[in-house]
Amino acid sequence: MPFIANTDAQRREMLATIGAGGVEDLFADIPPELRCKGLDIPPGLTEQEVRNRIAALGEHNSSGLVSFLGGGFYDHFIPAALGAIVSRSEFYTSYTPYQPEISQGTLQAVYEYQSAICRLTGMEAANASLYDGGTAVYEAIMMSLRITGRRKVIVDDSVSPIYRKMVRSYTGNLGIALLETESVEGLPDRDAIAAQIDGDTAAVIVQNPNFFGCLDDVADLAEMVHARGGLLIVSCYPISLGLLKTPGQMNADIVVGEGQSLGMSVSFGGPYLGFMATRMKYLRKMPGRIAGRTVDSRGREGFVLTLQAREQHIRREKATSNICTNEGLCALTSLVYMSLLGKRGMVELAGVCARKADYARSLLLKVPGVTMRFPGRWYFNEFVLNLPIAADKVIRGLFNRGLAAGFPLGRYFPEMNNCLLVAITEKRTKEDIDFLAHSLEVIL
């Protein structure tokens, strides 16, 4: 038990032990002007006044903007039934399922989530979720190092720059050779990647659809890296898999992605959800939790955590991951979302997004001076426009008309200062898209 000082004598003894003359000495490193002089606590409010106050504060979080933002985080419709289900107390109060005999509901939900991710990605095994899309890419890198025993990773710059920055931060002191290749006309440069792959290459990382919204069949990259004993890691946008060939069909070895679009709102940085799936032969090298289905001594079906030691993360550099928990409620949310839509619903949703994006592209290209940055490329629900002036200036003008018109790529790609990344989801109506096109023409 920790020692707690309950008397003045005990507090004086503790301070003397560390060489402090008084409590004030503990704060000596903080400049006096930065110290709190006291708490200005207003008088108590009634319940009704508190509700009104919180509601007023909440209004500050509502921009009222019609959003065409994308870049990995998408404004999809969230069914009301989803909130009603995941807010049930047995779901949102559940925690670590260390004792399977009292955690069957949580474990079954995790198992069903893993199964849904496998079906969505075309892979054979999935874990019980990770923190977000960026950390999932990092965890996939570390997994590839464990599988291959190699230390070199190649990542194309069409992978989200946010993810790449996170990966550079995570791997900066780990002795990993992290090489970035430059994409050509919106797609990974096959020749540049081939020139970098050698006998020490653990993995090649690509994204589909990539950060520019361009679609690609990366089966040839899988064959290329497999020929040298490496792995292919694919980051994907889960909603697009309602229409597109799955990473599993393109022979990917590890599939990761951001699960925010599966029923979670676009909030101020999270909480989000990283998903990961792989081939069965790599299951034991996969980080995080894995739930399995089994039978007890009487033949009754049950669910357990399997293959991973409870506190395996304390093994430091020998651990499969330093993740010791998972985004359980977020994973459950995505499972409920996929269950509510079902297979047909996922296909229909992806189709609606693709058709609306096609309508938006055709309309926006009629605005004088607007062209496609990557003409001839296929896309899902997101594409890059070339504008006659800087994209951030256009965004500021459209913001005043109630539109979050897209993402200015010049923030991450200086040579694309005039480029605007526009995303269309099922929430954007014909009137929204028409108004965007009209407003863009007015601004230009």
Position 268 scores a pLDDT of 76
Range with lowest mean pLDDT among 209-223, 293-307, 413-427: 293-307
Single out the residue of 402, 328, 401 nearest to residue 108, CA to CA.
328
Position 194 scores a pLDDT of 98
Q: Strand pairing of 419-423 and 407-408?
A: antiparallel
List the strands of the sheet with 274-278, edge to edge: 125-126, 274-278, 254-258, 231-236, 201-208, 152-156, 177-181
Q: CB of 162 within 8 A of CB of 242?
A: no
CA distance 232 to 203: 6
**Phi and psi of 431, rounded to 5°?**
-65, -40
The overall average pLDDT reported for the chain is 92
CA distance 55 to 49: 10
Q: CB of 426 within 8 A of CB of 79?
A: no
Single out the residue of 154, 88, 160, 34 nearest to residue 332, CA to CA.
88
CATH number of 80-336: 3.40.640.10
Q: Which residues lie across from 206 on neighbouring strands? A: 234
Q: Strand pairing of 382-386 and 403-404?
A: unpaired
Tell me how many degrees the CA angle 137-351-242 measures, rounded to the nearest 5.
Answer: 40
- In the 3-class helix/strand/coil scheme, how is 201-264 assigned residue by residue? EEEEEEEECCCCCECCCCHHHHHHHHCCCCEEEEEECHHHHHCCCCCHHHCCCEEEEECCCCCC
pLDDT at 61 over 80: no
CA distance 54 to 425: 30
Q: CB of 166 within 8 A of CB of 194?
A: no
Q: Strand pairing of 201-208 and 152-156?
A: parallel
Domains of the chain: which residue ranges? 1-35, 66-76+342-443, 80-336
CA distance 433 to 374: 21
CA distance 163 to 233: 13
Position 6 scores a pLDDT of 63
- For residue range 244-292, list pLDDT tens digits in order: 999 999 999 999 999 999 999 988 778 899 999 999 999 999 988 899 9
- For residue range 77-94, list pLDDT tens digits in order: 999 999 999 999 888 777
- In the structure, what pLDDT confidence band is assigned to residue 10 with cuts at 50, 70 and 90? confident
Class of domain 66-76+342-443: alpha beta
- For residue range 31-40, list pLDDT tens digits in order: 988 888 888 8
Q: CB of 303 within 8 A of CB of 104?
A: yes
Position 1 scores a pLDDT of 43
305-312: Cβ within 8 A, 24+ apart: 305/97, 305/98, 305/100, 305/107, 307/283, 310/98
Position 325 scores a pLDDT of 63
pLDDT at 3 over 60: no
Q: CB of 118 within 8 A of CB of 277?
A: yes
pLDDT at 103 over 70: yes
Position 311 scores a pLDDT of 60
CA distance 238 to 235: 9
Position 346 scores a pLDDT of 97
- In the structure, what pLDDT confidence band is assigned to residue 328 with cuts at 50, 70 and 90? confident
List the strands of the sheet with 371-372, edge to edge: 371-372, 382-386, 419-423, 407-408
pLDDT at 8 over 90: no
CA distance 315 to 322: 9
- Six-digit token pair at 39? 């708490």
Range with lowest mean pLDDT among 93-97, 178-182, 231-235, 243-247: 93-97
Peptide bond into 43 cis (omega under 30): no
DSSP 111-153: HHHHHHHHHHHT-SEE-S-BS-HHHHHHHHHHHHHHHH---EE
- For residue range 349-382, list pLDDT tens digits in order: 999 999 999 999 999 999 999 999 999 999 999 9
CA distance 432 to 360: 10
- In the structure, what pLDDT confidence band is assigned to residue 142 with cuts at 50, 70 and 90? very high
Q: Mean pLDDT: which of 43-52, 208-217, 299-308 is highest?
A: 208-217
pLDDT at 209 over 80: yes
* CB atoms near residue 18 (< 10 Å): 8
Position 293 scores a pLDDT of 95
What pTM value is reported for the model? 0.87
**C-alpha distances out from residue 206 to 44, 95, 146, 351, Å:** 55, 34, 19, 24
Range with lowest mean pLDDT among 301-310, 339-348, 435-444: 301-310
